[in-house]
Structure formats: C-alpha cells, structure tokens
Amino acid sequence: MFFETRSLTRAFGGLVAVSKFDISVNEGEIVGLIGPNGAGKSTFFNLVTGVFPPTSGQVVFEEKDITGMKPHRVAALGIGRTFQLNPLFGDFTVLKNVTASFHLHPRSSILDIYFNTRAHRRNEAYIGEESLKVLHLLGLESVEHVLAKNLPHGYQKLLGVARALATRPKLLLLDEPLGGMNPEEIDFTLKALKKTREQGVTILIVEHNMQILDLCDRVVVISFGQKICEGSPKEVREDEQVIRAYFGGEHAA
C-alpha cells in the first residue's frame, strides 16, 4: 500500500478529535477526505505530517512506519501539504514564492552559493525553469510577476498548491483547497488539480465542500473524528449517514 493509517487516534484531554481512523491511498489516486467543519479533517493531516503525535495508531508511507516523525522528515520522504491558512511570502512575487520552495531541497553547497560557481548558476537556472513549469501547470503563469499579497483569494490558494508541488512530493495533501472560493475560482481550481493528477501526483484532499467529489476516485467521510462512510463519489452522495452529518438530524453522527 502506498499510504495508509491504521487505527489513528488523537485525544486532546477528554476530547477525542480523531478516533481509530483508517484510510488508504493507492499510488496515482485522488482520494477525498470530506466532512463538516470540525469533523477532525485538519487534525488528521497534522497527525500524518508530524505536527501532532498521535495518541495511538500508525501512519505508513511506502511500507515505512512514519508515525510521529517530525514535519521536516515527513516532507523529506515525499509528503507535501497545503494549509487552510496559506503561509505565503506576501511581498514576494508568485514566481519567487515557488522558487523559494524549490530551495527547501538545495542542490548547491554553501561554497557554491558564496562563490557563485557555474554549478550554482546552472542550478538556479534549473529552478527557474521548473518553477515556471509548475506555474504553467496550475494556470498561474499570467500572474508570475504579481506580489502574492495582491492576488485574488483563489489564486493565493493555488499558489499554496504550487509551493507544495515545488517540494517534489510523491503524495500531496491538500487542506481545504476550495475554502472561501467563489464558483468561478472553484471551477478554475478543480481544472488545475485535474492537470496535477495527470502529471502522476497522488493526492489526498481534505475538504468540506462536496464539489470536490467530482475530482475524486474514492471518498472517505469523517464526522466527529470517526469514519462514517467510504465509497465512490456517487455512493457517498447518496449515503443517508453522510446526508445527516452535513445537513443535521437527530441521528447525525
């Protein structure tokens, strides 16, 4: 299995935010993890990426137990992520934001940089070319010279995706990529993410907006920290427990 969690659990005092949660992702898939606000979705991502250690359970990536690893080690293994609150460099251009993320995996030594060697100049040219490819993939090439703080909200969210892609992830975790977007921005983003998948990137998406179902191969639904449904987008849309979780009712789980 490419990625999976086994009985993953996290308690904060008396509150169990994620409870014995199992999910699996095959290489090349897009899997959606959806649920209403406060369901435990972002906590799950924080457990996977080492922001919080789990109370119990396992996180396994490429057959390796990565449970409780520090975030930088998880990233080095090939798991990239975005955040609900986009940590962009507001006074950097769009292109500079992406090239800065490429530098998280430096190919030049300190001496190469200091003496501006030929190897360093080649590497800088490579990073520039690859950054432009990422922007083109996501449809951001038209705003490459715009400061990040001046971008519309939808473009800022996509820039977060671009920065995550610049870390060369094998598995990309997207945290609420449609959050706060208008319908036009949502349509633009869904098309960009489809193109990302066509490049062979495996994606796990956390989202509460059910429009994300149109993008997914499989969907897992979480409510109050527990899995309540798993299946195809069609099966999830028609599941009574999912409908209750989203729209309320005395038996909402």
CATH number of 3-86+156-247: 3.40.50.300
Domain map (residue ranges) of the chain = 3-86+156-247
Contact present, 74 and 173 (Cβ < 8 Å) = no
Cβ-contact 60, 22 below 8 angstroms: no
CA–CA separation, 171 vs 138, rounded Å?
17
Number of residues written out for the chain: 253
**Cα 56 to Cα 16, 44, 154, 164, 243, distances in angstroms:** 11, 13, 36, 28, 30
Written as tens digits, the pLDDT of the chain (253 aa) is 999 999 999 999 999 999 999 999 999 999 999 998 889 999 999 999 999 999 999 999 999 999 999 999 999 999 999 987 778 999 999 999 999 888 655 554 555 554 467 766 787 788 889 999 999 999 999 999 999 999 999 999 999 999 999 988 999 999 999 988 999 999 999 999 999 998 889 999 999 888 899 899 999 999 999 999 999 999 999 999 998 888 665 444 3
**Could you give the CA distance from residue 33 to residue 221 in angstroms, rounded to a whole number?**
6
Read off φ and ψ for residue 35, nearest 5 degrees: 170, 160
